[in-house]
Amino acid sequence: MKSIHTIGVFLRPFTHSLKEYFFEFQELATSLGFEIILESLSAKMIGMQGLEFEDVCRRSDALLSIGGDGTLISVARRSFIYQKPILGINMGNLGFLTDLQKEEVETFFPLLKSGNYSIANHTMLEGSIDGECFFALNDIILRHLNNGSMIHLKASIDQEYFNSYCGDGLIIATPTGSTAYNISAGGAVVYPFSYNLLLTPICAHSLTQRPLVLPGEFEVDIEVGSNQECNVVIDGQENKLLKPHQCLHIRALKNGVKLIHNPHWNYFKILRQKFHWGE
């Protein structure tokens, strides 16, 4: 792999307690010969100066999120057009994506310098409403504006009518997002490096409505029922409004997010640890 020299850093928002760890990390990284660039909002949170998001992405060889999976997902979604590899240091609990623990940084970062690391490609979703495009690493979720109300959704696959969903909503997930809201709604766990689209109804009104796993080559269109409006939730972090007669178009991008992993990283080991399988 390519040797990494310049790293753009993003801290979990509203977590001022990360200040002490960032200085500790920065001292270690610079001692190993890395240039560290801190993003402006992260810098402001801990009383420093930083660069704007786009400048950090352009100038860095790789991006680093310090926080939990949510922080990494936000960085991945917003930086996707720059196609920079991303590494996450896990400061949270679950950590499916941010698999590097802070105590492992000292031994792992020399591997970045020597190019002895692996990069995994994660399928990304591209959504569009009336020409406005956005990206999601985990999922795009459609729900009624009033979360207590039932919603009616019409789904087409490759522009051919496929199904109508009536219930609390619909999840369109990537394989990476299969272990997020998708699994809570009864969807399957899918190997994260697969090229698929997952459609999982949320509390469907009919028992015949079941989760569906599609090849990634298919494209999906969703329309909301007459006289209804729909909340489109992107990776649980951003919301858009889908109005009557509008269409949400979703496709899977095979050239997706590039996440940096330890060469010995094993997905099935992570599943066993996080879900306590076999115990």
Both tokens of 27, joined, read 């001292």
| Side chain identity at residue 31, one-letter code | S
69 has catalytic annotation = yes
Q: Residues 143, 168: contact at Cβ < 8 Å?
A: yes
Task: Name the H helices within the chain.
Answer: 18-31, 40-45, 53-59, 69-79, 105-114, 181-184, 267-275
Question: Among 125, 57, 138, which residue's Cα sits nearest to residue 96?
Answer: 138
Question: Among 279, 246, 265, which residue's Cα sits nearest to residue 118?
Answer: 265
- 3-class SS shares of the chain: helix, strand, coil, % to 5: 25, 40, 35
Burial of 120 (0-12, 13-18, 19+ CB in 10 A): middle
Catalytic residue among 55, 61, 69, 99: 69
**Distinct helix (H) and strand (E) counts, the chain:** 7, 17
Question: Among 50, 42, 51, which residue's Cα sits nearest to residue 19?
Answer: 42
Q: Residue 97 and residue 70: Cα distance in Å, rounded?
A: 9
The catalytic residue positions are: 69
